[in-house]
Amino acid sequence: MMGKLRWIALGYTVALLAAASLNYVPGLTDSQGRAFGIFALDIYDDLLHIASAAWAGIAAFLSKHAARNFLLYFGVLYLSDGLLGLLTGSGYLDLGILTYGIQDLPFSFKILANLPHIALGGFAVASSFAFAHEAQ
């Protein structure tokens, strides 16, 4: 039986594959290559999303324990990346903090650009704790 942890990890597989496909769906990027006019995704971002989707899918397939570990570790990585982006304008998962450093961007833009990682990461961490009893 697939418990909630495995179903949530499976949902992350779908969501992350969808994120990886954003650049390839006509009409979702503007003339500057920004998805929804907010953030630019490059091949590195796509590969990161695909690797994360594979991690989520494998974890969902393996066990409740693997799914919980995925949700916890993925969640911490993505949530902290989004919070760093919110504070500095650059995240670390795409090496932006090393490439671009601290960026002076409008706070509203930083919120919109980092909200996906904050939301995905925060929900993953919360789920890993809320349903931890399933993995035992």
pLDDT at res. 28: 75
Q: What percent of the chain has pLDDT over 90?
A: 72
pLDDT at res. 4: 97
Q: What is the pLDDT of residues 47-97, one digit of tens each?
A: 999 999 999 999 999 999 999 999 999 999 999 999 999 999 999 998 889
Tokens of 93: 């998962």
pLDDT at res. 134: 94
Range of the domain at 82: 4-135
Average pLDDT rounded to a whole number, residues 2-21? 96
Q: In whole angstroms, give the CA distance from residue 53 to residue 99.
A: 25
Tokens of 105: 């961007």
Alpha carbon 108 to chain centroid, angstroms: 19
How many folded domains does the chain comprise?
Answer: 1
Whether residue 29 has pLDDT greater than 80 = no
pTM attached to this predicted model:
0.90
